[in-house]
With several copies, the nearest count.
Chain A
Amino acid sequence: MSDASVLNKKKFSLQGIIPWIIPLAIILFWQLVVSIGWVSSSVLPSPLEVLKDGIDLTIKGELPQNMSISLYRATVGFVIGGGIGFVLGFINGLSKVARLTFDSTVQMLRNIPHLALIPLVILLMGIGEPAKIFLVAIGCMFPMYINTYHGITSVDHKIIEMGKAYGLNRSAMIRKIIFPAALPTILMGVRYALGVMWTTLIVAETISASSGIGYMSTNAEQFMDMKTIVLCILIYALLGKLSDFIAKNLEIIFLDWRG
């Protein structure tokens, strides 16, 4: 990290370019494959066609609208699920009784594929917006839970002891020692959860949806609209880049002490 700070500006712009080399290479290769006819463009449309599809859908307003409704579902689900996972992870990390009671159950539940959960979700939540958000929340809950829990149980025993020896009460202990010490691992959970947030949407938006990027994607699959399928894949990839960007910045902001 420390060497990064002494890099001059020239290196910095290079650092901005390198990460895009492979994605670009993939796109070029893909264009080539389609151009020389190795696969027909009805099976795999060329990048240019996909781009055109993207522009069309943007102009028609379909894409922005789907993106924004998905963004809404994703964010609300993330906040609720991530919040619950965080709290549950925190409690289980701190209390041995809670851990014994809940951890095993959570570890069992997190293994159930979202796809398989749909009937139960409908049973519990109906087919409206809450059901979709619920599923995203479930998805985001587990990584936040696991990482928070793991982060807290791995806090160096020595500094906890130090906190005790200086008379910190439980709340101060959590705020000043346990939470900051667990934060790097928790932020890794945020990183996971941000990924899961988008990937559960595609499942959530099979529940009676008529909008959203996940809907767009499954709908395209039903109608074999490869251009849109690939467009959605690209959008997911870019959202991934965005999540990564957010996660990285959270780390930079909150973990500045790690230098």
Chain B
Amino acid sequence: HQEDNAKLKSVTIGFQAGDEFDIAKSRGQFAKKMEKKGYKVKFKEFQNGAAMMQALATGNVDYARVGDTPPVSALAAGTKLTYVAAGGTKEKGSGIIVKKNSGINSLKDLKGKRVAYTKGTSSQYMLLRALRKAGLGVDDIKWVNLDQDAAAVAYSKDKVDAWANWDPTVAQVELTENSKLLVNGKQTGAVNRSFIVSPAKFAKNHRSLSRLIIKYGEQDMHWANTHHAKVIKLMVKDLKLSKNVVQLAVKRRVFGIYKMNDEYAKEEQKIANTFYQSGILNKQVTISKHVDYLK
């Protein structure tokens, strides 16, 4: 059907440092290809998913690349958004880290321990999944809500015993703090996938644009998967992390931008259910109603 009116020239994409669009932006191909199709791409950087969802809700971005939990929270809060695409996971690079000498060797050992996480992010979901897997109750650990840098200091000074997080932070902590991943996302089922969401109305009216974005994005991701060295160099510069940290993080990650499918939607639904059951969200949402399965 006839959509994508010719007047639209500029498209705003929200991203976070080190994510899929950061790579696309740095490589430069994406914007060039889009321009050929008559779109000027504006990349807007955000420091966290919540802020990006805020910008999306107020129509300040057209596409937002976020983690798995912010869209769920936003939907529960009544934001009208649509999932237009999914990214890869960080299932091997996210999880719960502990110091090697901490004596914590299994999930059960977490009982009674202080575990750092950041409220409203994947780490909260990750922890809930991990506790369930270990047969522990929600109150069997001490939940310590901290921002990234605060958590880093707290973890290093042993103010917390474990820390739910994801790459590249996990990689960094593993390498600098003599730590290990107690459990990763693959094992807990919190795969930490990224998604690309759009304001519902925009998504409805610009489906072919969305297809373009997926198409060109996927090309960049393919490039990323096959040019690790270049991606690593790029991220070292962008994130100001040391090379071995980035190497570790990039190696265990698969980049990708895919059309939405049932499996991805179900992953999100699980998050929604878990958060609702734990009282974190006070509204149940049905993810499939907010997905555009572009064909």
Contact = CB atoms under 8 A, between A and B. Distances in A.
Given A43-B58, A118-B51, A224-B149, A208 B144 contact: yes
A127 B44 contact: yes
Contacts of B57: 42-43, 224
A206 interface: yes
B294 interface: no
Interface in A205-246: 206-210, 215, 218-226, 228-229
A40 B152 CA distance: 12
Contact of B150 (A42, A118, A220, A225): A118
Interface residues of B, number: 54
Contact of A119 (B18, B54, B168, B176): B54
A223 B240 contact: yes
A232 to B, nearest CB: 11
Contacts of A229: 149
B53 interface: yes
Contact of B177 (A42, A215, A226, A228): A42
Interface residues of A, number: 28
A219 B168 CA distance: 13
B93 interface: no
A39 interface: yes
A38 B53 CA distance: 19
B120 interface: yes
B229 interface: no
Contacts of A41: 78
A7 interface: no
B22 to A, nearest CB: 10
A126 interface: yes
Contacts of B52: 208
A43 B51 CA distance: 13
Interface string B236-269: 0001110000000000000000000000000000
B277 to A, nearest CB: 15
B2 to A, nearest CB: 27
A215 to B, nearest CB: 8
A226 B148 contact: no
A27 interface: no
A221 B152 CA distance: 9
B281 A223 contact: yes
Interface in A155-213: 206-210
A25 interface: no
A42 B18 CA distance: 21
Interface in A58-93: none
B60 A126 contact: yes
Contact of A122 (B18, B153, B239, B281): B153
A229 B80 CA distance: 18
Interface stretch (B69-77, B130-138, B182-190, B210-218): B69-77
Interface string B143-186: 11111111011101101100000001100100011000000000
B78 A222 contact: no
Contacts of B153: 43, 119, 122-123
Q: Which 5 A-B pairs have the closest CB atoms?
A: A222-B120, A42-B78, A221-B149, A224-B77, A210-B45
26 contacts: A39-B156, A40-B78, A40-B177, A42-B77, A42-B79, A43-B157, A118-B147, A122-B159, A127-B144, A206-B147, A208-B51, A208-B144, A218-B47, A222-B17, A222-B119, A222-B121, A223-B73, A223-B77, A223-B169, A223-B280, A223-B281, A224-B53, A224-B54, A224-B57, A224-B73, A224-B74
